[in-house]
Amino acid sequence: MPRNPDQESAPGQDAVTSGFNSRSFGDFSQFLREAVADEESLQMGESLQGLATQIEAVIEEWRLPHSDGAWLAPHLLALLEALREHHRLMLDLTRDWDRFLEFKAHLAALNQVRSQLAQWAQRVRLPGAQPPAASEFE
């Protein structure tokens, strides 16, 4: 059977990344599954899990009755810091992650969320301010 040059590993490349040329979501997901033992993939997964846990905690707190939105500002600021750390992690990845459209979409969505959270944090700091509806956050 003839060898496919796109699937051969160049010196210094591993088999997971050397033949990856597709840009579909399914291919990106498959790449992540195959690279699960890769340290950067594990770091990304742990970072996303940490963000998810923090977001779930904010949602649970949001569902409780509060007299105003002042309780929310510290939670949003902590989440903003976690998002900044996640963003730095994404930018510091050594692999060629940015070739995936989904990676670029992830960074764009991350920036939108950070911007929205910063606006909300500023708004709820005002005396008597009410937080946005929890459904907006979710």
Q: What is the pLDDT of residues 63-86, one digit of tens each?
A: 888 888 888 999 999 999 999 999
Can you tell me the distance from the alpha carbon of 109 to that of 55, in angstroms, rounded to the nearest whole number?
A: 15
CA distance 71 to 27: 42
Would you place residue 54 in the very low, low, confident or very high pLDDT band (cuts 50, 70, 90)?
very high
Domain total of the chain? 1
d(CA 81, CA 97): 23
| Whole-number percent of the chain with pLDDT over 70 | 75
Q: Which of 1, 2, 30 is nearest to 16 (CA)?
A: 30
- Chain segment 21-36, per-residue pLDDT in tens: 556 666 776 676 666 5
Return d(Cα 41, Cα 17) in angstroms, integer: 12
Read off the pTM: 0.66
Q: Is residue 19 part of a domain?
A: no
Is residue 5 a part of any domain in this protein? no
Q: Is 10 helix (H, G, I), strand (E, B) or coil?
A: coil
Q: What range does the domain containing 72 cover? A: 24-137
Torsion of CA 50, 113, 40, 18, to 10 degrees: 150
CA distance 35 to 31: 6
pLDDT of residue 66: 86
Domain-located, residue 3? no
